[in-house]
Amino acid sequence: PDISTRIAAGEVIERPSSVAKELIENSLDAGARTISIQTEQGGKSSFVIEDDGCGIPCAELPLALERYATSKITDIEDLERISTLGYRGEALASIAAVSRMEIRSKAAEAEAGGLIRCEAGEITLHTETPAKPGTRIQIDDLFFNLPARRKFLKTSSAELRRIVQIVNDYALIHPEVTFRLYEESKKILEYTGAACVEDTLLRRWGRQTKIYHSESQSGSLSARLWWNPIPDSRRVVIMLFVNGRRVQDAAIRAALSTADAAAYGEWLVLLDLPPQDVDVNIHPTKEEVRFRRSGEAFKIVYDNAKAIFAQRHS
C-alpha cells in the first residue's frame, strides 16, 4: 500500500487491542449475537474473530478492504447521524495494510460464501467458498511490514491484557451478546449473553460490591450511572460510553467531582442521545466526543450523581 495508507493505518491501529476493538465493533454492527476471539501471542502473531452477524457477500469482499469504503454511510448527510459504531471505512483497510489478513464470510441470503486473502494491503486471493453464515477474520503477523511498530509492542501477556479489557468493556454494554476469548486455545474469558448490565458489573467489581445506581431521561438524552464507592481510595475511575462507544470526556469527569468532591471509586456512565447531538468524528480512533449541548450532558450526569450520593447518605 502507498505511504499514506500505511501512515493512516498506524493512526487507527496501534496494537492488537486496536484490532480487537475495531473488529468487535464491526461484528456488533453486523448484528452478531455470538463473538468469539482466538489469539496467539496476545494477538501479535495471530488474531481470529468469528461472528454470526449478517456476513459480507463474496462480491463485496474487496470493497470491504478498500479505504473509505463503508456500507454504513451512503451520503454525506449520514455523517450527521451516525448510529453504527463504525463509519469511517478505515478499519479493515488499515489492518489489511499492516498484516496478512483472511476473511471468510457468508451473507445470510447468499448461496455460497466468500474468501479473500490480503497481504500488506494487496489482494492475493478472492474466491467463492463454502462457509457458515457470519464472518471469520484472521489477522496474522500484525505489523510484519512495519518493523519499528512491531518492536514497540509489549509482551504477549501485556497485549492480551489489553484485549481482555476491550472484551470486558463490550461485554458490559452488550450483556445480551455472547463473548468468548481464547489465547493459545485456552479459554480466557466467557460472557454467555442473556445477562444485564448489573450482572456484568458485579462480575467485574466483585460479587460483594454494593452498587449504587441512578438513571434519568431529559428530552432525547438518557443517562444511566452505576457507582462502586471504594473507601480510602483517592481515585475516580470512569468508564464512559456514549451511544455504545467507550470514550473519554473531561466534562463528564468534572460533573462527577462537582456533584461530590469525594466521588472516589469506580463509575460506569452510559449516555445515549440522538447521533446528530454528538460529534464522534473528531479523532480517528474515536475516543473523544463533542456534545452539541455539553451543558445538558454535564447536568444530567451531575443530577444522577447527586441522586446516587443521596442514596448513600440515607
Query: Which residues are paired to 47 by β-bridges?
Result: 39, 139
Site for ligand ADP (CB under 6 A): which residue of 30, 146, 177, 273? 30
Least distance (Å) from ligand ADP to the CB of residue 91?
Answer: 3
Is residue 89 close enough to count as binding ligand ADP by CB under 6 A? yes
- Smallest separation (angstroms) from ligand ADP to the CB of 132: 13
Measured CA to CA, the distance from residue 239 to residue 260 in angstroms comes to 18
Tell me how crowded residue 50 is: count the other CB atoms within 10 A of its CB. Answer: 20
46 binds, among ligand ADP, Mg ion, none (CB under 5 to 8 A by kind): none
The distance of closest approach from Cβ of residue 158 to ligand ADP in the complex, given in angstroms and rounded to an integer, is 25
Nine-digit cell at 93?
483497510
3-state secondary structure string across 220-274:
CEEEEEEEEECCCCCCEEEEEEECCEEEECHHHHHHHHHHCCCCCEEEEEEEECC
State in angstroms the smallest separation of the CB of 136 from ligand ADP.
Answer: 9
- Single residue of 27, 38, 178, 200 touching ligand ADP by CB under 6 A: 27
The residues, any chain, with a CB within 8 Å of residue 111's CB and separated by 6 or more, are none
Q: Which is nearer to ligand ADP, 26 or 46 (CB)?
A: 26
Using rule CB under 6 A, residue 113 touches ligand ADP: no
68 versus 152: smaller Cβ distance to ligand ADP: 68
Interface with ligand ADP (CB under 6 A), residue from 88, 117, 162, 245: 88
Interface residue with ligand ADP, options 54, 115, 171, 269 (CB under 6 A): 54
Kindly tell me which of 102 and 183 has the beta carbon lying closer to Mg ion: 102
Orientation angle between helical segments 16-29 and 156-173, nearest 10 degrees: 20
What residues numbered 70-129 form the site for Mg ion, per CB under 5 A? 86, 91
Which whole-number Å values give the CA distances from 238 to 85, 241, 247, 263, 266, in the listed order?
20, 10, 10, 10, 6
Q: How many Å apart are CA 29 and CA 245, to the nearest integer? A: 12
Positions that interact with Mg ion (CB under 5 A): 26, 86, 91
- Enumerate binding residues for ligand ADP (CB under 6 A): 22, 26-27, 30, 51, 53-56, 64, 70-72, 86-93, 135
